[in-house]
Amino acid sequence: MESDSYPGAIGNAASAPVVIVGGGFAGLYTALALAESRRHPPILLIEPQDRFLFLPLLYELLSGELRRWEIAPRYDALLAGKGVGWLQDRVERIDASQRLVQTASGRSLPYRRLVIASGGCPEFFGVPGADIHSLGFRTLDDVERLQQLLEKLRHSARPLQRLAVVGAGPTGVELACKLADLVQGCAVIELIEQGPTLLPQGRSFSREQAEKALRQRDVRLRTHTAVTRVDADRLHLCCKSPHQGAAAQPPTEERLPVDGVIWTAGLAFRPPLLTPEPERDRRGRLCCEGDLSLVGQPSIFVAGDLAHLEGPEGQPLPGSAQVAFQQAPLLAANLLHSLADEPLDCFQWKDLGEMLSLGRGDACLTAAGLTLAGPAAFRLRQLAYLSRMPGLSHTLKVAAGWLADWKP
Ligand SMILES: Cc1cc2nc3c(=O)[nH]c(=O)nc-3n(C[C@H](O)[C@H](O)[C@H](O)COP(=O)(O)OP(=O)(O)OC[C@H]3O[C@@H](n4cnc5c(N)ncnc54)[C@H](O)[C@@H]3O)c2cc1C
């Protein structure tokens, strides 16, 4: 499906559009920011899904605290009248020397400038059975499958039902808390982490609050535990000693019966095939200059999770909606500068803090030196995300819905 037909005849390189691959946080918000400029070029967003997904609020969709239309607006509605064309397709190849993208449906489209913002996909680290027997947690289908599993567990009278969440990063922790609230005591939730701690990159306040929320919900956190195999009904675990040196015990093997596994342990990067071969980091992300252009390719830009960009101390920037959201206006400005042969600006990430959803009606946040936890943090988190919803008209609709539901 295509929304506005975009101006600029395909095949004429001079009037070819700025093509944006991927309509997630980086791609969609860049398209919207670019379309705000009065002198914007033709813009074509290529995205295979029909709905944008506001991933940080996916837990609230799972729990029924938010509705599907609120966190997953349709692209045709979001882009109507905005001057952005949308092609529902998947980009498979990019030929940088000819400035052409090829799509899964067989289209060959020229671009004047290209933005690659195709994000990541689950990384199973070669663990046998993980891709077949685990559920993911990043799509609407994932949420539906998980809701069906929860329904099944709630209606089954078997004792000792168990769900395992693999990976104790933010997604694993937030999901484990929400699941614990949703199973209503009919299943045990295990959170499995191969490293020594949950939220290894998180702030200490978030870690403390997360540990407290997991304890209150009887979620069993197993650190130093690697999943070595996933079967349909059990996990194979390798439990390492938490001690080092002489005090270290040899690792032990364990088989853990499970009724479901949700894999949140990592992100892999499989962008469209690009020729010539681009420079990548060890995780497969595309290496960018400070202005977000792809190394060695000034007509191609990369944004969001897929972009490998270093912060002021040389550390790679985190893959987060916050980073993608901040990149969008700068990238839109750089696209215009690039088309006008003007110098480009460098991206500077401003760390605005972190927020975690910690179960129904519960959250914690740290921002601007402030820390807050509990129902007030839950409300503030929702308001912060409301201000980041794409498009004014969608934001107003969601705000109206929340006001109507609000109970003081
Ligand atoms: C459950 C969950 C909760 C999260 N919570 C937070 C949070 O609280 N705060 C935070 O900062 N971050 C959070 N994140 C991370 C955040 O969502 C990502 O960092 C962010 O979505 C990255 O944006 P992106 O545009 O790079 O990629 P994505 O949002 O993943 O979008 C990529 C888009 O590209 C499309 N695409 C893929 N391949 C192609 C192709 N070949 N052709 C065309 N289109 C393609 C995909 O369909 C997708 O729509 C969360 C992530 C998850 C999964």
pTM for this prediction: 0.94
Tokens representing 107 are 């289209």
Distance 249 CA to ligand 1 centre (A): 40
For a mutational test of ligand 1's pocket, the pick from 71, 305, 366, 386, i.e. the residue with the most ligand atoms closer than 8 A to its C-beta, is 305
Say if residue 171's pLDDT is above 70. yes
Measured N-to-C along each axis, helices 375-386 and 392-405 cross at an angle, to the nearest 10 degrees, of: 150
Query: Is 286 in contact with 279 (CB distance < 8 Å)?
Result: yes
The tens digit of pLDDT for each residue in 177-198 reads 999 999 988 999 999 999 999 9
Q: Is 143 in the pocket of ligand 1 (CB under 6 A)?
A: no
Mean pLDDT of the chain: 93
Q: How confident is the model at residue 9 (pLDDT cuts 50, 70, 90)?
A: very low
Distance 209 CA to ligand 1 centre (A): 25
Predicted local distance difference test score (pLDDT) of residue 37: 94
Q: How many CB atoms lie within 10 A of CB 269?
A: 20
Question: What is the number of the ligand 1 atom nearest to the C-alpha of 354?
Answer: 9
Average pLDDT rounded to a whole number, residues 268-273: 97
Domains observed in the chain? 13-120+269-351 (3.50.50.60), 130-266 (3.50.50.60), 352-408 (no CATH)
CA distance linking residue 342 with residue 328, whole number of Å: 18
Distance 122 CA to ligand 1 centre (A): 11
Say if residue 316's pLDDT is above 70. yes
Predicted local distance difference test score (pLDDT) of residue 159: 80
Cα separations in angstroms, 296 against 277, 301, 307:
10, 11, 14
Predicted local distance difference test score (pLDDT) of residue 407: 66
Question: What is the number of the ligand 1 atom nearest to the C-alpha of 272?
Answer: 41
The tens digit of pLDDT for each residue in 94-117 reads 999 999 999 999 999 999 999 999
Angle subtended at Cα 44 by Cα 323 and Cα 31, rounded to the nearest 5 degrees: 30
Distance 31 CA to ligand 1 centre (A): 15
Q: Is 173 in the pocket of ligand 1 (CB under 6 A)?
A: no
**Strand 252-257 versus strand 234-239 pairing type:** antiparallel
Q: How much of the chain exceeds pLDDT 90, in percent?
A: 82
For a mutational test of ligand 1's pocket, the pick from 19, 25, 140, i.e. the residue with the most ligand atoms closer than 8 A to its C-beta, is 25
Angle subtended at Cα 369 by Cα 366 and Cα 373, rounded to the nearest 5 degrees: 35
Q: Is 48 in the pocket of ligand 1 (CB under 6 A)?
A: yes
Tokens representing 93 are 């190849």
Predicted local distance difference test score (pLDDT) of residue 6: 40
Q: How confident is the model at residue 408 (pLDDT cuts 50, 70, 90)?
A: low
Average pLDDT rounded to a whole number, residues 239-246: 81
Average pLDDT rounded to a whole number, residues 257-265: 97
Query: Is 361 in contact with 213 (CB distance < 8 Å)?
Result: no
